[in-house]
Amino acid sequence: MHISEGVLSGPVLAGGWALAAVGTTLGLKRLDYDRLMTVAILSAAFFVGSLIHVPIGPVSAHLILNGLLGAILGLAAFPAICVALLLQAVLFQYGGLVVLGVNTFDMAFPAVACSLIFGPWLRSTGTMRTVGAFCCGFFAVLLAALLTAGALALSGEAFMTTATAIFLAHLPIMAVEGVITAMAVGFLAKVRPELLAIRLAG
């Protein structure tokens, strides 16, 4: 899901940086000091999860966990994902610094959007909360794959094949992430319900 350097056109890069800057600024404004540890832990989970790549043809697939971050952090998912992507670019050359804005927006915006759309379900109990958490994980990856494919497609017809391959490669990841997010939210609702309460009230 990481887009590499030298692939995207100038307008797409500029748009990505602008959107990522807005999202990160809003996320930092909504971030309370007492939530820093939670943000750091989830940022680390995102960092580790997306390091494990499974080659599928010309592309690779990996866990993203952006839906989980969105379900718990809301707008704070933007700075959490941005920091993780920055460290991946600097330490492991995944993605890059020039494309950091686009990669951040492609993964963080779906997280925030799904947290808003499925927020009422996450505030429920029982089956409704489980379904909401699954949808948050599933559709966050779906939207991230579409945004990544769209960024490539906007940069030239030569990238259409790669864009399609990226989307198809992440189809099974969507279901896996839905299950992981549902399990994680269900677990937190039992042992640390205040985390979900902070997110929903914040």
Of residues 37, 33, 2, the one with CA closest to residue 16: 2
Domains of the chain: 10-52+61-201 (1.10.1760.20)
Beta bridge partners of 61: 54
pTM of the model: 0.86
User: Would you say residue 129 has pLDDT above 70?
Assistant: yes
CA–CA dist 32, 15 (Å, integer): 28
Which segment, 56-65, 93-102, 107-116, is predicted with the most confidence on average?
Answer: 107-116
Tokens representing 49? 């999860």
pLDDT at 161: 74
Query: Which amino acid is residue 81, in one-letter code?
Result: I
CA–CA dist 140, 157 (Å, integer): 25
pLDDT tens by residue, 21-75: 999 999 999 888 788 888 999 999 888 887 766 655 555 567 788 999 999 998 9
